[in-house]
Structure 1
């Protein structure tokens, strides 16, 4: 319980807030500009972010213009679907119901909408920004938040590269996660706030950088895509100055295959710190982005063979980046003749990652027995030869059971996850994909910092 003197903060509020975690969000309602071929016309309508079947920004509009679909120069019907643009002077405001459709409607349309920037796209006097997140598992420990007359542990604060990011879960976050677990799909799970640690101003370009960092941090953490949604930035006068409307990259809910455990927020903090630092180097930024893409692809086991191939592609990316670009162990010419399992083995050795089979992956012994000329317990060569068997099938090559592919999948993700963490210089703990049965709170140390 709380009393009147309690200073516990309430959760962050956002400019665009859904009525329920699964409610669509209407971000704009009012005048629109329509285009049909070379023709421009006036329209009225709305722009809405819908969650299902996948997150999609959509427009709907009506017009009393008589000849929306007619090319006035030729008098013929245009072949293009009319497109819609937002009048910028009206764009950054709470959607309201005070602008109904015009009389004498002659045209009605709707469809998907690309990225829209509302407000000032070049603002430089921003003090903070807020956003919402969907399908992000909640940390089980955190700072206190107030809900009416009670409090709960729902706040996570991340810092790095001069930024401070606050993530708040709602009081009923357990109900939301139960609903997602039972029914899948998408639902809003958090509100967030981003600002400079020293409270100095920042620009929209700075903000977009840190929001991209946050997408990769949180997606790596939970093992599937999630992104900040509908960010709104405020200037020093506390007025909304900028917003971005787009269809966010968010995977449907599925059991988390991420490396962060809900009882260990320090893992998320260090990942944010490391990725934010890497963002200053354009090459490292590119490598981190692609490696996380490969890992998230590998986390989808349908089918297992493609998931293993995705993980191995990520390992090849990191091997080139570490052995050639960063450490200069090989020149590009000398690296070329290396076989895939040889470069993978050298990458693992850089970070003290054992090439031997982890003890829980018992099916790999039977895989090794089917492959001739294989050293006992050589994980890199097992993965390479299994992948090659899929890419270059023949009657002479051995076939593998689902159980054998499953253990190979765990091994490939184990190697790739650790290699990403090694590339980032991460020193903490993680949830290891090679441990097939995880209990809440169970974590493993990275091998280079035992």
Structure 2
């Protein structure tokens, strides 16, 4: 993060988070005081967001010996916040402690004007807006603010001022840390309900995770009404990868305009009533294709993402009939999609030598080669089908599968920025390239592939 001193009237004041930025792994106290529901009388207790190594909302209470129960299970905790009692569904791990999956505090008929929410384990997104803070003799400046107006929402995201120092050692262990704070408003400052902002936060969670190649998440949203009073708050045990995870981003954090373009395309795609949940499902699988443990698992996440993309783009968008879709082989459907987006179907022998050798020996192009490898993983028929005798073949197949899934997903939502090619990217992580359909030259409609009944599969070896 760029830091230093400067005098620029364009610099802005950073957002103040509801909960202070925590050191990596340090718990964040959400509530401390009397808790009812565990005994005949109230007991002192604490609820906190545990930030490492097992992230989640935990509770503890100071029980007396007579309070202990033999049967543990679900519990109802009653706490007092903002002058009223709230009941929280909880789970007991042992007597006097346990965990909470979700707790929501919503005033009746609440209408919100702004929401503050913190983000966990986001990468160091660079600017482009400068932030300046002064306290006594201490002054600090950093390129820490990203702002975007998207689909009627104004999103302002600030990085913590000590991002570099805070994350210096977090990568050494599985820890979780608040890295950013975000403010959400409507661009016209009108009011909105909780359901609307929850849908937006879910879209941002999945979209940011897709952009940066690992699960990141917003946590502890707090909503304010027009008088500035808290009208809604929610605690959840987040789904997030630890700060140690490097990930494999498809966007470069130093190109904030690309992030704006991605979110601009993703929000309406997530809200598309004609294809509810499609983009969310595809992005979630694409994230799994990056961060899942074994490379085989990543292939098996990317393959259904591509199948789902093919069904959505070809059948739901009325390019093909259902019968035409089912009458074509999976590799032919994939090839057709790639050609629609001007994505090359060849295999780079320098970047993917094992897959290129396998394809050349069998006269296959990229979509056919990855499909054949995937099929042999799932349905091996003979000893000759054992793909592990080809060193590096599974790894290369995953890399090309992931490139196809990333690009086709970006194409499906209308993205026109730059991206990091997961296959060819060597050296500096900021080596981005334009998407292949981002030209003024019209892309011709590809020819319809032959139906299964017109050609024997064993003879379909010539690359096209």
The reply on whether 1:143 has 2:129 as its aligned counterpart is yes
Alignment of 1:1-400 (within 5 A): 1=5, 8-34=11-37, 42-63=42-63, 66=66, 69=69, 79-81=71-73, 83-87=75-79, 89=81, 108-120=95-107, 122-124=109-111, 126-148=112-134, 149-253=139-243, 254-300=245-291, 302-326=293-317, 328-358=318-348, 360-370=351-361, 372=362, 374-375=363-364, 378-393=365-380, 394-400=382-388
Deviation per CA, 1:347-393: give whole Å up to 9, x if none: 212212121114632332212145x4x33xx1111111111111112
Asked whether the equivalents of residues 52 and 174 of structure 2 are also in contact (C-alpha less than 8 Å), the reply is no
Aligned counterparts of 1:340 and 1:219: Cα–Cα separation in 2 = 28
Aligned counterparts of 2:246 and 2:157: Cα–Cα separation in 1 = 21
Deviation per CA, 1:233-292: give whole Å up to 9, x if none: 111111222111011111123223111112211110011111111132145451111111
**For the aligned residues, what is the CA RMSD?**
2.5
State which of 414, 423, 429 in structure 1 corresponds to 2:418. Answer: 429
Q: Name the SS for the 2:237 alignment partner.
A: coil
Aligned counterparts of 2:108 and 2:373: Cα–Cα separation in 1 = 50
- Count of paired positions: 419
Deviation per CA, 1:201-246: give whole Å up to 9, x if none: 1111111111112101211111111111001111111122211101
Question: Which residue in 2 is equivalent to 1:405?
Answer: 394
Normalising by structure 1, we get a TM-score of 0.86
Larger mean Cα displacement after TM superposition, 21-30 or 180-189: 180-189
Q: Structure 2: where are the runs of 5+ without partners?
A: 86-93, 440-464
Q: Name the SS for the 1:363 alignment partner.
A: helix
What is the CA distance between 1:322 and its match in structure 2?
0.7
What is the CA distance between 1:121 and its match in structure 2?
6.1
1:152–1:448: structure 2 CA closer, same or farther, 3 Å change rule? same
Aligned counterparts of 1:203 and 1:436: Cα–Cα separation in 2 = 43
1:285–1:270: structure 2 CA closer, same or farther, 3 Å change rule? farther
Aligned counterparts of 1:145 and 1:352: Cα–Cα separation in 2 = 41
Asked whether the equivalents of residues 22 and 177 of structure 2 are also in contact (C-alpha less than 8 Å), the reply is no
Aligned counterparts of 2:84 and 2:203: Cα–Cα separation in 1 = 25
1:311–1:249: structure 2 CA closer, same or farther, 3 Å change rule? same
Aligned counterparts of 1:47 and 1:344: Cα–Cα separation in 2 = 49
1:122–1:219: structure 2 CA closer, same or farther, 3 Å change rule? farther
Question: Which residue in 2 is equivalent to 1:419?
Answer: 408
1:19–1:318: structure 2 CA closer, same or farther, 3 Å change rule? closer
Asked whether the equivalents of residues 133 and 140 of structure 2 are also in contact (C-alpha less than 8 Å), the reply is yes
Aligned counterparts of 1:91 and 1:357: Cα–Cα separation in 2 = 65
Aligned counterparts of 1:361 and 1:177: Cα–Cα separation in 2 = 34
Asked whether the equivalents of residues 263 and 441 of structure 1 are also in contact (C-alpha less than 8 Å), the reply is yes
Aligned counterparts of 1:395 and 1:402: Cα–Cα separation in 2 = 16
Aligned counterparts of 1:7 and 1:267: Cα–Cα separation in 2 = 22
What is the CA distance between 1:18 and its match in structure 2?
4.2
Normalising by structure 2, we get a TM-score of 0.83
What is the CA distance between 1:295 and its match in structure 2?
1.0
Asked whether the equivalents of residues 150 and 263 of structure 2 are also in contact (C-alpha less than 8 Å), the reply is yes
What is the CA distance between 1:133 and its match in structure 2?
1.0
Where do 4+ consecutive residues of structure 1 move more than 6 Å?
A: none
Deviation per CA, 1:68-96: give whole Å up to 9, x if none: 63xxxxxxx6x343513233655899xxx
What is the CA distance between 1:167 and its match in structure 2?
1.0
Aligned counterparts of 2:391 and 2:82: Cα–Cα separation in 1 = 56
Question: Which residue in 1 is equivalent to 2:437?
Answer: 448
Asked whether the equivalents of residues 154 and 170 of structure 1 are also in contact (C-alpha less than 8 Å), the reply is yes
Aligned counterparts of 1:322 and 1:172: Cα–Cα separation in 2 = 44
